[in-house]
Chains A and B, each alone.
Chain A
């Protein structure tokens, strides 16, 4: 394992991200819209139904959403590298495919976590109140796990695609269902069994649950379960990602 190579791949992602202000602001717009429209729109109904403060309930879900979208996108961004040729530069380099995968994933994940923290701060401005300030570090651990899983996922998908044309398909058929069936917007308690079953196989559901547990003390699966499941999936996706990455031919 070459730490320097991982570092340089990581810093590259960060530099690219920090230089594209439009992208930073653009990708904050959607989560904020969801937070404001749904948070204030459904708030009174949720309250009446005895669910408590809806804004507090969905804020962790919206943070997870921002991380999901950013990380899948930074993973899939590899397609640009392929089209602009930069991918060749990394592919012929004398470093293991796993190192490339780790470096890229950590870079993308860092970007996604930064985006998640930005949404977290914005949600506080809009009135979200975390129950326990001391568990914010734990929340960041969950953010990082979600980010790693979905960056690796995005990279694995990008290794299979030649261009951005498949992106719409993936967005509509994988990313949106993952988000809507994760319990980010509504509690999983009392839902039809099928929906709950699907959520059980959705990595994001554990991420949302962990975030919610850390930020507002409300859990469905349990914090320990969330941590274990997410960690295992992160490793599995990293391995799958680097395997499919190593199969790329130009």
Chain B
């Protein structure tokens, strides 16, 4: 069902969204945790079919933002519209539009790899005639096909990660959220996975929203990038625009320039200074 919706709206660009192809619109989004402001008044919008990279240092508010977009957390303030619906007031409708690969594990350890995939497929209404072949294709891609009948609790961390990604790609949603999907994976697997995602994006027009620590990945994959730090979005644009803006030649330098120096100088705490020094030493 979800898949059909996706396909239909691909053919007809005006379907479901009136704001010239904007599929995610976030305005003035804020989230407080007991007085600590994790996400501070951020606004951005994402076009249908876009691959959007959401970058920021640890604890910048990336995962909190994703949680609010995916109906797991209510915002303190602000509004979100996803494919014409609000995750705050119409969570059921929004849940039909997205899929997500979480940053931390969300598998059932007591089930086998195959059962985890099957569970997800049925929960997301993947048509039974494509379910089996797609599970096989994905498990082969992440090199877990020959271990499909093993209980997940016997898997290593990397294997679990790969299974998690395969599962997230099983149903083809309108919007795909990937929270640090390739963290801790070897370069070859990372490549496989990104190629698959790119192809999904091209073939089915799936919108991709991802966070990552790998700047090369962001530079290569993302159509557009937003950089978040201390809960605020400090820059948005294509990788080239960000590099131009910071007069750097690598996205990594642009990122450091944006999060490490320029922005923090105004209100640099000792901790920030320490972080900055550490970064400088590393380089």
Contacts and interface: CB of A to CB of B under 8 A. Distances in A.
A85 B124 contact: no
B47 interface: no
B261 to A, nearest CB: 34
A95 B108 CA distance: 18
A12 interface: yes
Given A86-B106, A94-B2, A96-B92, A250 B124 contact: no
B115 A15 contact: yes
Given A91-B72, A92-B100, A250-B72, A4 B107 contact: no
A44 B55 CA distance: 75
B143 interface: no
B106 A5 contact: no
B124 A86 contact: no
Given A4-B122, A5-B123, A8-B122, A92 B107 contact: no
Given A8-B123, A94-B2, A249 B110 contact: no
Interface string B64-93: 000100111110000000000000000010
A95 B118 CA distance: 16
B108 A88 contact: no
B119 interface: yes
Interface residues of B, number: 30
A91 B73 CA distance: 11
Contact of B123 (A15, A93, A249, A250): A93
Category for how many chain A residues contact B? 20 to 34
B107 A94 contact: no
B60 interface: no
Main secondary structure of the interface of A (DSSP, over half): helix
Given A85-B107, A86-B106, A249-B74, A92 B95 contact: yes
Interface string B108-146: 111100010011101111000000000000000000000
Nearest to A103: B123
A79 to B, nearest CB: 15
Contacts of A91: 71-72
A91 B111 CA distance: 18
A15 B149 CA distance: 14
A48 interface: no
29 contacts: A2-B125, A5-B123, A8-B118, A15-B110, A16-B110, A19-B110, A20-B110, A84-B105, A85-B102, A85-B104, A85-B106, A86-B106, A86-B107, A87-B106, A88-B72, A88-B102, A89-B107, A89-B120, A91-B72, A92-B95, A92-B98, A92-B100, A93-B124, A94-B2, A94-B96, A94-B124, A95-B95, A95-B123, A250-B67
